[in-house]
Amino acid sequence: MRLINLALLYWLSMLAFANAQALQTFQNALFNIEIVVTQGDQTGSSQVESKQNGVLNWFFGIQDAKNLNSVNVNQTGAFDDTRIVQQGTNNVAVNLQNSRQISGSSAPAIPVPLPNYNRGPVYIAEQTNQGYLSYFSSGEISIVTLTTPGLTAIGSFGRSH
């Protein structure tokens, strides 16, 4: 019994830690793509929370942190797809899909919230403790990437001033 309590305490503490340190992203376009390939932070933990609100939502994640890999993907769309690979000591994965399934279901369609089509292009990038995070949103598409240094390939160009 004591062993179970210790395990539960450990698990709750890990979840609390995950909630405190999770990297959160929110996408609200017609087509949302998020790609996560990370080895976690310096403590060996990777925590990601993703919300995708559109018609077509893709989440593709590979977490390879040695201590904790936690991912929470909440998708609201007509065609949702989540693929997660976790390699570590403790792995937690939650995937909520509020839409009808892509195939094999005759369930009635759930109304899809309209994305904001008038949103101008936004590009934000920063170096987080879990890797390089870039967030791009323009019109009907949104692309988010979180990548480790070995899989981060970025360039830029433009007019000089």
Partner 1 sequence: MTSRVAIHSVSIALLALMSAQPAMAEFAMLVASAESSSVDAKAADTSAASKEASADPAAPAAPQCVLNGVSVGFFAIGETGFCGTVHGQVMEFLGKDFATSDVGFVTQRLPSLRSAPGGLTLETAAPILFYYNKDVSYQTFGLYPGTDSMVNFLTFRETDLGTLSTFVNARLVGRLERDSYGQYFSFSQIDGSAWMGAADQAWVQLAGLRVGIQPSLFGFSRVGYAVTPGYSSILTTPAISYTQRFDHIMGSPYSASLSISAEDPSRREYADGMLARYASPRAPDVVGQTRVGMPGILIHFSGVLHQIRDESADLCCNAPIVSTHGWAASVGGEVRWKWSQLIGDLGGDFYGKVMVSAAGGQGALGYLGIPFMGLDYVASSTGVIQRSPGESLIVSYEHLWMPTLKSSLTFSWFQTYLQSAPETILPWAPPLGFETSVRGSRLQASLETMPAPGLTLGLESAYTWSDANGQYNNLPAAPVVVGFPNLVAYIKKAF
Chain residues binding partner 1 by CB under 8 A are 30-31, 33, 35, 37, 58, 60, 62, 81, 83, 118-123, 125, 134, 136, 138-141, 143, 145, 147, 151-161
Instruction: Output the smallest distance, CB 8 to partner 1, in A.
Output: 35
Instruction: Output the smallest distance, CB 140 to partner 1, in A.
Output: 4
- Residue 67 vs residues 26, 94, 132: alpha-carbon distances, Å: 25, 18, 20
- Distance from C-alpha of 93 to C-alpha of 73, rounded to nearest angstrom: 8
Question: Which residue's CB is nearer to partner 1, number 56 or number 68?
Answer: 56
- Distance from C-alpha of 18 to C-alpha of 32, rounded to nearest angstrom: 24
Half-sphere exposure of 92 (CA within 13 A, CB side): 19
Structure token digits, residue 136: 């791009």
Question: Which residue's CB is nearer to partner 1, number 7 or number 114?
Answer: 114
Question: Which residue's CB is nearer to partner 1, number 22 or number 55?
Answer: 55
Instruction: Output the smallest distance, CB 159 to partner 1, in A.
Output: 4
